[in-house]
Amino acid sequence: DAVRQTVRRLNEGLALTAGDETQKPLLTEDDGKVLREIVWLRDAAQFAVGDATDPLERAERLFDWTIRNIQLIPDDAPTEQRLPLLPWHVLVFGRGTALDRAWLFQLMARQQGLDVVLLAYSDMSEKDLAAGDGKRWWCAALALEGAATVGKPAGLYLFDTRWGTPIPGPDGKGVATLSQAAADDKLLRALDIDEKHLYPVRAADIQKVTALVETSSPYLAERFAKLEAALGGEDKLSLSVNREAIAANVKKLLHVDRVQDWPLRDVRFAASREKPAYEALSKQLLAFSRRPRDLTTGRVGTPPLWRARVRHISGKYYENMDETDPALRRPMIVRWYQMARPAESDLGSLQLDTLNWEQLHRMKQHASYWLGLASFDLGNYDTAATFLSLVLKEEANGGWTAGARYNLGRTYEAQAAAAQDPVSGG
C-alpha cells in the first residue's frame, strides 16, 4: 500500500519518532492518509495558481479553479447527497456544497501561504460554528495586510462559493473587501438577478462578522509541525496553522467581531465513520476502484478512473513532465480518462449483471465529464465542448448537468477569446 510505504519512509528517513525510550514511529497510517490529502491540496493549488505571484491574483485563480472543478451540491439537496465529505472526497468526487467549496478554497490557499477565513454572521450559534454546517455562514475571504499586495488596501477580500463569484468591487472592478461591502450596499445589490432572485445578504447584515479559521487537529499536531520543518524544496507542505497570528491580523480589520477556531475536518471525519455515511461513501468510490483485467494474461491493472482522477486534481496531465522541450510532453490525461470509458458493446454485454453494469456505466459518465474539464485546461476548447455537450445530451449523465452547463459556457467564452487573439488565446 502506497500510503503505508510513504509513512514508513518518512519515519525512517527523517527520524520521526516520539522521542521516548520506546522510539515508536511518530507518524501513523491514518496520518499518511491525511498527508496524501494535503499533497493533493498542494498540487491542485500549484496547478491552479500557475505563474501568478500577486496574492490576490493567486486567490482569484484558486477560487476560479474551485468553482470550475467542484460542482455545487445545493444546500437543500436530499440528505443522501449531502454526505460528510473530507477534502480528499471533494477533490476526487468533484462535487461539494458551498461550504465544502469554501473549506477547500481555504485549505488550498493555505498551501500557497495565503490566509483565507470563512465569514459567518455574528449571531451564528456555537453549535453551528463547531459543526460548520449551519446556514448562518456567508462566504470565504482572503485576509491581506496593506503591504502584502501593491496598490490594494488591507482587508478581507470576499469570495462567495454559493453564487460562484467574487463579490465585485466598486464600479464592478476587482474584488470587494468586507469594509467596502459593509459600507455600500450597492456592491451586494450588483449580484441581484431580478426582483424574485435577490442576493440574500445586505450591508446591514455584515456590520459584525465572525471569522472562522480551519484548525482541525492534524494542523495543530506537533508531529505534523516537525515534519513540516523537515520538508523543503519540491517536497514542502504547509502542515500547520499559526492560528494566533492569523487571529491577530484578522481581528485588526474592520467589522470583524471575533475570530473562531473551526475544526471541521475532525467533525467530518467522525461523521464519515458512522455506518450509514461510511457505506454511502464506499458506494460512491466503487466506480473509482474498478480494475481492468487483461483477457490474455489475466493480470489486473490499476483502476483507470482513480489513476486519471488523481493526476487530474494534481495537475499532472503530461507524460515526461521533466522534459525541457515542451514538444516532447504528451498530455496523457486524455488517454487515461479514455481507458475509463468502456465501449457501449462492452456495457451491453453486462445488462444482466446489474451491479457491474452500474459501476462501469457510472465510471464512463464521470470520465466523459472530466475529459471536458481536462481538455479545457489543455486549451483544446473544441474537444472540451464536444465532451461537455455529450454529457448534456444524456439525461442519465451521472448528475453532471449543472457542472457541464457551467463549464460549457466557460468553454464558449474561451473559444471566443481565442478567436479574437489566436496567438495568446490558445
205-233: burial string, b at 16+ Cβ within 10 Å, e else: bbeebbbbbbbbebbebebbebbbeeeee
d(CA 249, CA 41): 24
pLDDT at 295: 43
d(CA 126, CA 160): 22
Could you tell me the end-to-end alpha-carbon distance of the chain, in angstroms, rounded to an integer? 40
pLDDT at 294: 46
pTM score, whole prediction: 0.90
d(CA 85, CA 93): 10
Any residues with CB less than 8 A from the CB of 10 and at least 6 apart, and which? 16, 27, 35, 227
pLDDT at 182: 97
Can you point out the beta strands (E) in 207-339?
A: 209-214, 256-262, 318-319, 330-331
SS3 127: helix
Q: Could you give the angle at the alpha carbon of 215 between the alpha carbons of 210 and 219, nearest 5°? A: 155
CB 288 within 8 A of CB 92: yes
Q: What are phi and psi of 209, to 5 degrees?
A: -130, 160
DSSP state of 167: P
- The pLDDT averaged over each successive group of 10 residues in the chain (426 residues) is 83 64 72 95 97 96 98 89 95 96 98 96 65 73 76 90 96 95 97 93 95 95 90 91 94 92 94 95 89 52 86 87 55 87 67 64 90 95 95 86 96 92 60
CB 164 within 8 A of CB 96: no
pLDDT at 296: 47
pLDDT at 118: 96
